[in-house]
A and B are shown apart, each in its own frame.
Chain A
Amino acid sequence: MAKEYETVIGLEVHVELATKTKIFCGCSTAFGAAPNTQTCPVCTGMPGSLPVLNKQVLEYAIAVGLATNCDITRYSKFDRKNYFYPDNPQNYQISQLYLPICRNGGVEIETEDGGKKVVGIHEIHMEEDAGKLIHDEWEDCSLVDYNRSGVPLIEIVSEPDMRSAEEVIAYLEKLRLIIQYLGASDCKLQEGSMRADVNLSVREVGAAEFGTRTEMKNLNSFKAIARAIEGERERQIDLIEAGKVVVQETRRWDDAKGESYPMRSKEDAQDYRYFPDPDLVPIVVSDEMLEKIKANQPEFRTEKMARYKEEYDIPDYDIDIITNSKHMADLFEATVAICNQPKKVSNWLMGETMRLMKEKEVDVEDLHFSPENLAKLIALVDSKAINSSVAKEVFEVMFEEDVDPEKYVEEKGLKTVNDEGALRKTIEEVIANNPQSVEDYRNGKEKAIGFLVGQTMKAMKGKADPGMINQILKELL
């Protein structure tokens, strides 16, 4: 009989914090600037330069810790993690090993069978990001851009509490939601503002000891994470079944090839020789500081759901979907604030928005039409300036380019023709050209009128109010 194996997974999640400046210097963290234009002696490791902690980094880290039920370390400090690599100009990364800012937390996730489970958080520490290496094929060399060097990160280290790819994704989604609600990061996997390293081992079901684990890097989508977990599980089981051993190592996942390979050779032993950073003084978190951060914690999802139920007349299902993304909830609230029509706003988000997101494979975080424009579109439909099928057409353009629907409708001449004379004339023509349908209708085939409405709409290039067509048709028949 084939042996049954259990997968044991723990995650190290790096999150880039949404501060304006770097963790230890006043350089901008804005994304996309020309290489090395957001650097200074501190983040390029110049001798004699001194780092000073950005207070906002500490406050975000504590806020995330509180929201994930961690103990906040009242006496915390920074350590140096030593390694040589060109993306790391100091030859050490400033991180926290001995006294990380948050410890012993956890978040609750829903499991596949509909149950609940807590994934423990071992610790959360603050650290700096490294620069970016670009490989130049032409010169056969590497080019270094230090704009990212010193961008603040928190690393959230889970306990090895997850047992499947589904649980890993549920945990990541939960973390992402909490952090987005806090405004501490936008958590985009594709852009690297959230990165997950997967520590995975397998063991026979019922075994007391963990197997040897590997660490998998370079996972930049939920799909890649799921595939990498499946791939690594199989690789380890194959090794064990063949009587070989799993080597503890760091592996890089190649999602295009669907396989992983070892990243570091033996010569680059992972021996970081950590020691306290003498350039940075310890952090003492006072009661006052902690209370202030607690008082400023935002409305989280559960509270928001309860408030929506109270304030807006929309279905629970809509509330569930809308609050499942901070961005979507913000969009909803901002639009409702302008037009005061929660039901209609919700319908646009649940209907066309979801449909287009799926069709065009757009992530909810990348929705970029403005609340102002959605409110304008709703007003255009309400005033019957456009009909609902034109509105959908306009919305699709808004979804792509965030156009102003009023201007767009004007420019493209999409306004409903309210000239009754013109409409009546068109309908008369349609009646004259479709004697069979007219006959059918007069013989009691109610459905035939639908065809005539359609023909009229076509002749009017969609710019008519279907109610009005119906009314005139019935009158003329």
Chain B
Amino acid sequence: MANIISDETIEYVGILAKLELSDEQKEQAKKDMGRMLDYIDKLGELDTEGVEPMSHVFPVQNVFREDVITNSDTREELLVNAPEEKDGMFMVPRTFE
């Protein structure tokens, strides 16, 4: 494996992804990420001179909708998914900036 993932990197990626990993899982994740980066490096060997960067896998563009209201109040259905609710809103742990 050419790409070695450091402990710091896997720690940082864990924070970004909001994942708590055990030591064992961290070791496994380091290996997995290293292999993924090796694969990307392999792709990097290709000569892409003059090839347009791809923005989308389908050759489709300009899919628009008109500015017309089509949705109505479906709050009850929405709140079925809420772990807890209050006053028609999702109740979540106290979050502030």
Whether B57 contacts A278 by the Cβ 8 Å rule is: yes
Min CB–CB distance B60 → chain A (angstroms): 5
A54-B65, A55-B64 known; A28 vs B71 contact (CB < 8 Å): yes
Bits for B58-85, please: 1 = Cβ < 8 Å to A, else 0: 1011111111111101110011010000
B90 adjacent to chain A (CB < 8 Å): yes
Majority secondary structure of chain A interface residues (helix, strand, loop or mixed)? loop
Query: In the bound complex, do residue B75 and residue A39 qualify as a contact, i.e. CB atoms below 8 Å apart?
Result: yes
Known: A40-B71, A143-B90, A281-B63. A267 touches B56 (CB 8 A): no
B50 within 8 A of A: no
Distance between A11 CB and nearest chain B CB, rounded to angstroms: 20
Asked if residues A36 and B89 are in contact (CB atoms below 8 Å), the reply is yes
Contact, CB under 8 Å: B89 / A134:
yes
Contact of A284 among B57, B62, B67, B69 (CB under 8 A): B62
The smallest beta-carbon distance between A74 and chain B, in angstroms, is 11
Asked whether, in the complex, the Cβ of A283 is within 8 Å of the Cβ of B88, the reply is no
Which residue in chain B gives the minimum CB-CB distance to A268? B15
Q: How would you classify the secondary structure of chain B's contact residues: helix, strand, loop or mixed?
A: loop
Q: Is B95 an interface residue (CB 8 A)?
A: yes
Interface size on B, residues (CB 8 A): 38
Enumerate chain B residues within 8 angstroms of A280, measured Cβ to Cβ.
63
* 0/1 string, B12-38, CB within 8 A of A gives 1: 100110100000000000000000000
Stretch at the interface among A18-26, A345-353, A430-438, A453-461: A18-26
Q: How far is the CA of A46 from the CA of B60 in the complex (A)?
A: 24
Residue pair B74, A54 in contact (C-beta under 8 Å): no
Determine which of A36, A142, A276, A283 lies in contact with B96 in the assembled complex, contact meaning CB atoms within 8 Å: A142
Known: A139-B86, A142-B92. A55 touches B66 (CB 8 A): yes
- Whether a CB of chain B sits under 8 angstroms from the CB of A422 is no
Whole-angstrom CA separation of A19 from B78 in the bound complex: 24
| Residue count of chain A within 8 Å CB distance of chain B | 55
Cβ of A341 within 8 Å of any chain B Cβ, yes or no, is: no
Q: Mark A15-54, 1 if CB is under 8 A from B, else 0.
A: 0000111000111100000111111100010100000111
Is B97 in contact with chain A by the CB < 8 A criterion? yes
B64 cross-chain contacts in A, Cβ below 8 A: 52-55, 58
Q: Is the CB of B67 within 8 A of A282?
A: no
For residue A281, which residues in chain B have a CB less than 8 angstroms away from its CB?
A: 56, 58, 60-63
Extra pairs beyond A281-B56, A281-B58 (8, CB < 8 Å): A40-B71, A75-B55, A135-B94, A136-B86, A144-B91, A145-B88, A146-B90, A267-B15
- On B, residues with C-beta under 8 Å from A are 12, 15-16, 18, 55-58, 60-71, 73-75, 78-79, 81, 86-97
7 nearest CB pairs, A to B: A26-B70, A143-B89, A56-B67, A55-B64, A144-B90, A37-B73, A35-B88
20 A-B pairs with C-beta separation under 8 A: A27-B69, A36-B78, A36-B88, A36-B89, A37-B75, A39-B75, A54-B64, A54-B65, A56-B67, A57-B67, A77-B55, A135-B94, A136-B91, A141-B91, A141-B92, A141-B94, A146-B78, A252-B97, A278-B56, A284-B62
